[in-house]
Amino acid sequence: MKRARVAFSGALHDAVDAGSRMRLADGRLVDEDAVVWLPPFMPRTIIALGLNYADHAKELSFNAQEEPLVFLKGPNTLIGHRALTRRPADATFMHYECELAVVIGKPARRVAKADAYRYIAGYTVANDYAIRDYLENYYRPNLRVKNRDTCTVIGPWLVDRDDVPDPMRLALRTTVNGKVTQQGNTKDMVHDIGSLIEYLSGFMTLGAGDVILTGTPEGVVDVRPGDEVVTEIEGIGRLVNTIADDSAFGRG
C-alpha cells in the first residue's frame, strides 16, 4: 500500500494510492493534483546520513569513515510533494540530495542487523537540500546548511515495507528541468539499512515515526529559482519540487 497525508477541502486526510487518483480515509476519490501534499507521516526524530555513498564522499573529497556520519534535523525543514523550496538571494551553491528515507514503525533498541527490517514501517523519497555557502566547521553539517525551512522535501507516498522486496537494490535519479543530473543505486550505500538500524539502536532507542535519510550518491549540482527538481526512487515514488527565490517567501 502507498499512503499519503494531504490537505483537501478544508481538512487534513490520510489517503491511499488508487491508480490515477487517491482514496481519502472517508472514501472520497480525488485527483492527485487537487490536493496539497504533506509529508506522508508525522515525524519524530529525523536522522540523516552524510557521505553514505562512496562516490559522493569522493566527490566531496571525503574519506569514508568506519562509523556512520549522522546528523539530526528538525520538523521545521520538512515540506511535501509539489511544494516550493526557498533559495536565499546570497546563496551561490545550493544542491539537492535524492535519498531513500526509511521510516521506523515501532520502538527499536539494540536491534541486530539481521532483525532490523522488522522495525521498519515503510519507505519514502527525500530530497535533502544543502546550501554550502553556510557550511561552517563546527558540528558539520550545521543546521543553517541542513535544517532550513522548506529544505527537506519528503514523499509523495509512504510505501509499506512488505511492498519493497529489496530496498538495497533500487535505482535513484534526479532530474533538473527534465535533464538527468544524478544517478545511483541503493546497493552502493557504505552503511546499509540493516547496519544503520543496528548502529543507531545501539545507543538510542528509535521510535515510531523516526526516519533515517540514508544519504545520496554523486551528481549534485547547483539549482536556481524556477528549476523543477524531481527526485525519484524505483518503486518508491517520484518527488517533485520547485526552487523559488526570496520574493516568493515575502523577503527582499
Evaluated on CA atoms 95, 69, 217, 48, the torsion sign reads negative
204 binds other proteins (CB under 8 A): yes
For residue 33, give the nearest of 82, 89, 86, 74 by alpha carbon.
Answer: 82
67 binds other proteins (CB under 8 A): yes
Which CB sits closer to other proteins, 26 or 136?
136
Dmax over Cα atoms in the chain, in whole Å?
A: 52
**CA–CA distance, 225 with 246 (Å, rounded to integer):** 9
Burial class (CB in 10 A: 0-12, 13-18, 19+), 117: middle
What would the x/- binding string for other proteins be over residues 8 to 37, using CB under 8 A?
------------------------------
25, 34, 74, 247: residue in contact with other proteins (rule CB under 8 A): 74
**CA–CA distance, 142 with 73 (Å, rounded to integer):** 10
205 binds other proteins (CB under 8 A): yes
106 binds other proteins (CB under 8 A): no
Residue 170 φ then ψ, to 5°: -125, 135
203 binds other proteins (CB under 8 A): yes
195 binds other proteins (CB under 8 A): no
Q: Which residues bind other proteins (CB under 8 A)?
A: 44-45, 67, 69-77, 109, 134, 136-140, 142-144, 147-149, 203-207
